[in-house]
């Protein structure tokens, strides 16, 4: 029956906890050494020139996935689709999740995706309220562009055939976010002359197995949407939930096109 000293115990436990946490925090570096080297200025693959929006199955399409950039809220990884020498699509295959991060990712990533396609350069605007995610996005985007350039110079692609300009007639529509149990799915379509010329997922589940499934299913779904011209497309087996969410969001985009 040792004498207990409640006050002393409280003070000791409190002091030990606070100093333990402060120690842990101080052991973490201010910036992530792994991704710091990824920052480097390289020119985007091409000057933004007049060019048509590439279809989902356009010839000369290639994708390039950047290195994952660590941010303090989690990793960001960007994949771009290059048609000819133009970025036709940019998407985040990984982005911070959990707590407010989920919200922020949902808020920022679609904007960033759109900005890349619009500016054709890694020099995009930071989304306010999602500074870290934006910075990570830019880093990973830069690395994706570098890779695309390396691949392009290795392959020496032929001059891309510029399709006739249809920009006036085409419009882009983004569907509502469809929640699935693995995360949100959001589809954006480009409609020209009443036809879907392009479909893409601006958001899709990522993290764990979801990343693989998204990578497997989304390109197929994109292609199917263009081919079918409607939301009546087949589910990709092994990615049922993502497919269902995709169809829902696609339908809402089509509804906008119709109305």
Partner 1 sequence: MTTTLAGGRAARRQTMRRIRPRRSPAVPLVIALWAGAAAVLWLWWDNTPSLADNTAKILAAGRITGLLAGYLMALVVLQMARVPALERRVGSDRVARWHAMSGRYTVSLVIAHVFLITWAYALQAGKTLGDIVQQFMDMVTTLPDMGKAAIGTGLLVVIALLSVGGVRRRLPYDTWYHVHLLTYAVVFLTFWHQITTGNEFAVQPTAKTFWYGLYGAVTALVVWYRILTPLRLNLKHRMYVEAVIEETPGIVSVLIGGKKLHRMGAEAGQFFRWRFMAPGMRFSSHPYSLSAAPRPDMLRITVKAIGDHTARLRELRPGTRVWAEGPYGALTAQRRSRGKVLLVAGGVGITPMRALFETLPGASGDITLLYRANSTQDLALWDELAAIADERGARLMYAVNSPDGERPDISADRLRQKLPDIDDHDVFLCGPPGFAQSVYDSLRDAGVPARRIHHESFEM
CB 2, min distance to partner 1, A? 8
Footprint of partner 1 on 234-253 (CB under 8 A) = none
CB 129, min distance to partner 1, A? 7
- Host H or E run for residue 183: strand 183-192
Tokens of 34: 């792994």
Per the listing, tokens 């048609």 go with 83
Integer Cα distance of 236 and 88 in angstroms: 24
- Give the x-and-dash track for 33-52 against partner 1 (CB under 8 A): -xx-----------------
Number of other residues whose CB lies within 10 A of the CB of residue 136 = 29
Number of other residues whose CB lies within 10 A of the CB of residue 244 = 14
Minimum CB distance to partner 1 smaller for 49 or for 212: 212
Footprint of partner 1 on 106-145 (CB under 8 A) = 129, 132
Footprint of partner 1 on 149-208 (CB under 8 A) = 207-208
CB 30, min distance to partner 1, A? 6
CB 29, min distance to partner 1, A? 5
Q: Are strands 195-203 and 86-94 parallel, antiparallel or unpaired?
A: unpaired
Considering only residues 17, 153, 162, 230, which one is a binding residue for partner 1 as defined by CB under 8 A? 17
CB 205, min distance to partner 1, A? 12
Considering only residues 53, 65, 71, 77, which one is a binding residue for partner 1 as defined by CB under 8 A? 71
User: 35: closest CA among 122, 139, 126?
Assistant: 139
Considering only residues 44, 74, 84, 110, which one is a binding residue for partner 1 as defined by CB under 8 A? 74
Contact in structure between 59 and 70 (CB atoms under 8 Å): no
CB 141, min distance to partner 1, A? 18
- Compute φ and ψ for 93, nearest 5 degrees: -85, -20
Radius of gyration for the chain, computed over Cα atoms and rounded to the nearest angstrom: 22
By CB under 8 A, residue 32 contacts partner 1: yes
How many residues form the binding site for partner 1 (CB under 8 A)? 34
CB 6, min distance to partner 1, A? 9
Contact in structure between 59 and 88 (CB atoms under 8 Å): no
Tell me how far apart the 2 most distant CA atoms of the chain are, in Å.
Answer: 90
Q: Which stretch binds partner 1 (CB under 8 A): 47-55, 98-106, 162-170, 197-205?
A: 98-106
Integer Cα distance of 20 and 17 in angstroms: 5
Considering only residues 67, 73, 89, 121, which one is a binding residue for partner 1 as defined by CB under 8 A? 73
Q: How far apart are the first and last CA of the chain?
A: 80
The site for partner 1 (CB under 8 A) is made up of: 1-2, 9, 13-14, 17, 21, 24-25, 28-32, 34-35, 70-74, 96-103, 129, 132, 207-209
């Amino acid at each position: 029956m040792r004498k207990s000293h409640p006050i002393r115990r409280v003070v000791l436990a409190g002091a030990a906890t606070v100093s333990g946490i402060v120690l842990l925090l101080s052991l973490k570096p201010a910036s992530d050494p792994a991704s710091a080297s990824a920052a480097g200025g390289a020119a985007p693959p091409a000057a933004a020139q007049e060019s048509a929006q590439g279809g989902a199955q356009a010839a000369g399409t290639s994708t390039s996935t950047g290195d994952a950039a660590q941010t303090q809220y989690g990793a960001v990884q960007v994949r771009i689709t290059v048609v000819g020498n133009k970025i036709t699509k940019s998407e985040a295959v990984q982005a911070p999740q959990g707590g407010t991060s989920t919200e922020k990712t949902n808020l920022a990533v679609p904007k960033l995706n759109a900005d890349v396609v619009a500016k054709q350069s890694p020099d995009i605007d930071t989304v306010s309220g999602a500074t870290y995610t934006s910075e990570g996005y830019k880093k990973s985007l830069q690395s994706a562009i570098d890779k695309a350039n390396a691949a392009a110079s290795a392959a020496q692609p032929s001059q891309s055939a510029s399709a006739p300009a249809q920009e006036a007639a085409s419009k882009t529509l983004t569907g509502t976010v469809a929640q699935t149990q693995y995360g949100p799915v959001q589809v954006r379509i480009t409609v020209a002359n009443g036809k879907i010329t392009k479909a893409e997922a601006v958001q899709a589940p990522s993290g764990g197995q979801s990343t693989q499934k998204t990578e497997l299913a989304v390109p197929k779904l994109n292609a199917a949407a263009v081919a079918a011209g409607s939301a009546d497309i087949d589910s990709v087996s092994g990615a049922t939930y993502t497919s269902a969410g995709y169809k829902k969001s696609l339908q809402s985009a089509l509804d906008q096109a119709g109305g």
